[in-house]
Structure 1
Amino acid sequence: MKLSKIVIAHRGASGYLPEHTMESKAMAYAMNPDYIEQDLVLSKDNIPIVIHDIYLDDVTNVATIFPDKKRADNRYYVIDFTFDELQQLQVTERFDTKTQKQFYPKRFPKGKGNFKLHSLQQEIELIQGLNYSTNKNIGIYPEIKNPDFHHKNGKDIAKITLNILSDYGYKTKKDACIFQCFDEKELERIRKELKSDLFLVQLIEFDEQVKKLEHFATYADGIGPWYKQILADKVADKFTFTNLVLKAHQLGLKVHPYTFRADSLDEFSSFEQMMQVLFFEANIDGGFTDFPDKMVAFLNDN
């Protein structure tokens, strides 16, 4: 676990290339973040696939290649496909399945290029290989997606993922790996039942979870809130903050909010303002960004 303020490449360099592709990860690596993120969902044959959701339809051409493999809800599930079948799909910029329009219009054009899905093992070998050839130590930041869904389908994604991480040398807080999950019960199980000694981050989705920091501190080393959970009302044109960061720091928890997007600023007038306010006024410890180059440059300058 690295100190000082850290940059986490969110789904790779996803502001520039389709998320969670090897190309996106290689580009992110070249931008010199501290960590590169991997979201993980199991295939039918229990291989952790690097993809953001349990569904395939909004980032691949699965509906064209395997039209008969959708479930009753009209969704295509990663878990219904073997690794070999998943290799046949083309990955594209994220799009709305109803309108077919891409989510971020200024990003890599939808349907262009030749991008594929890959496994956690393949991505670790890319990052470790680059660490070897460049003499750096860029870390990995895996997240297991929807462990409850996996359990209901008879799969233990936590155990499978931890075993792979261990095989590649990621075992303790000293190793360049941070493990994250939204599911509180599962993350607590990872620490207490599966006895992982990795640096664990409890992701926070709902506002009521903010009240549970003391409990999170009994098994996690950090929290990953939505950045808006850190912001309070603006007073005289200045941003004010909730007590989330302060309270987390008092409990010894690091704070890594999501997601810093230069093309989706909302309440901020510029990406620089967003980073300035959250890193140096709210005092966060790191951030997930689709634009790792911009965050690295900002932190180097400040």
Structure 2
Amino acid sequence: MKSISLFLIGLLLVSCKPSKKEIYMNPKIVIAHRGASGYLPEHTLEAKAMAHAMNADFIEQDLVLSKDDIPIVIHDIYLDDVTDVATKFSTRKREDNRFYVIDFTFDELKTLQVTERFNPKTGEQFYPNRFPKGKGSFKLHSFQEEIELIQGLNLSTGKNIGIYPEIKEPAFHQKEGKNLTKIVLKVLADYGYKTKKDKCILQCFDAKELEKIRKELKSDLFLVQLIEFPEETKQLAHFATYADGIGPWYRQILSEKTDNKFTFTSLVSDAHKLGLKVHPYTFRADALNEFSNFNEMMQTLLIDANVDGAFSDFPDLVVNFLKDKK
């Protein structure tokens, strides 16, 4: 099968087997954003196998629920920008013309083909130079299936690569009568992820939900508060009462650029004073924006701004950059 061959390609990228201690003790961690999504369609098992082979420290899983309460690894609550759902289930869209994961059973979701992200209105591929849209044979999968893949690869390769799940849209799920958070926490516990020592970082944009995870649900996992809006950067002291780190948009760290050199906001230093780690998103070699090249982006944020890790679609490039800095 094509999917199996792609899986093997990822595994063949392993050049050595770093010890568990070396991976665990990295001072700056590399998080494979939706897997090795710069090379293979995001959140596919093939992209996760490749990220594992590239020696990322953690691999990310965005999680939403199916109709029958299975946590599905997919970036959004929608299906129509990464699958062929509009072709296979044309009558199942809601009034807003979107197709929702929560309206399909796990068995139905398994029938869909996953592809490179595209605009559902125009059909245009979002990142034109990535894996070609509509090619290959990729499928959706459950959180449990991904954990078993990562844990299995850890065992067979001698690595200790962690998971970095995100609770997506908890308020939406609650309105639909479902408790995504409790289901995810149970899956994590069933697979041995219960404390900060268990190589699992749990993240969420919803501050009330993440605080609830710590204070009401009594989770002892490493928690990261994702932040998106400028006003949220002023709430660090509150975040520090329940979270272990923050995940800001990287532009919230940058101030301005003069004479080809960046200056920074106080976000990283303020977070560090409160004992919070800082893991900004997202490092993309094909979406540089204010940077002249990817090396400048990594140098500016990882070294000059002194963040503690980074989400990247290109984990191999970040791993190699940090290796050269040792």
TM-score by length of 1: 0.99
SS of 1:58's partner is coil
Task: Output aligned runs, 1:121-200, within 5 Å.
Answer: 121-200=144-223
* Structure 1: runs of 5+ lacking an equivalent: none
Distance 2:58 2:160 in 1: 9
Q: Among residues 72, 77, 82, which one is paired with 2:100 in the alignment? A: 77
Q: What is the DSSP-based 3-state SS (H/G/I as helix, E as strand, rest coil) of the residue aligned with 2:91?
A: helix
Cα deviation 1:18-55 (Å, max 9, x = unaligned): 00000000011100000000000000000000000000
Aligned to 2:60: 37
**Whole-angstrom CA distance in 2 between matches of 1:184 and 1:223:** 11
Amino acid in the other structure paired with 2:96: D
Given residue 296 of structure 1, which amino acid in structure 2 is its aligned partner?
V
- AA aligned opposite 1:143: E
Secondary structure of the residue aligned to 1:121 is helix
Query: What percent of counterpart residues are identical?
Result: 75
Q: What does residue 214 of structure 1 align with?
A: 237
1:198 maps to amino acid: L
Equivalent-residue separation in structure 2 for 1:292 and 1:134 (angstroms): 18
Q: 1:95 aligns with which of 118, 122, 132?
A: 118
**Which amino acid letter does the alignment assign opposite residue 48 of structure 1?**
P
Kindly report structure 1 stretches of 4+ aligned residues shifted beyond 2 Å: none
Tell me, in whole angstroms, the C-alpha distance in 2 between the residues paired with 1:287 and 1:187. 20
- Report the equivalent of 1:7: 30
What is the aligned counterpart of 2:277 among 240, 244, 254?
Answer: 254
Aligned length: 302
Deviation at 1:233, TM superposition (A): 1.1
Name the aligned partner's letter for residue 67 of structure 1: S
Deviates more, 1:280-289 or 1:233-242: 233-242
Query: Which position in structure 2 is the counterpart of 1:66?
Result: 89
Aligned to 2:320: 297
User: Given the two structures, how large is their TM-score scaled by the length of structure 2?
Assistant: 0.92
Which amino acid counterpart does residue 65 of structure 1 have in structure 2? K
- How far apart are the structure 2 equivalents of 1:2 and 1:259? 22
Q: Distance in 1 between matches of 2:77 and 2:228?
A: 17
> Following TM superposition, by how much is the alpha carbon of 1:235 offset from its aligned partner in structure 2, in angstroms?
2.7
Q: Is residue 2:128 matched to residue 1:105? A: yes
Taking the aligned partners of 1:127 and 1:164, their CA distance within structure 2 comes to 14
| In 2, Cα distance between equivalents of 1:236 and 1:43 | 51
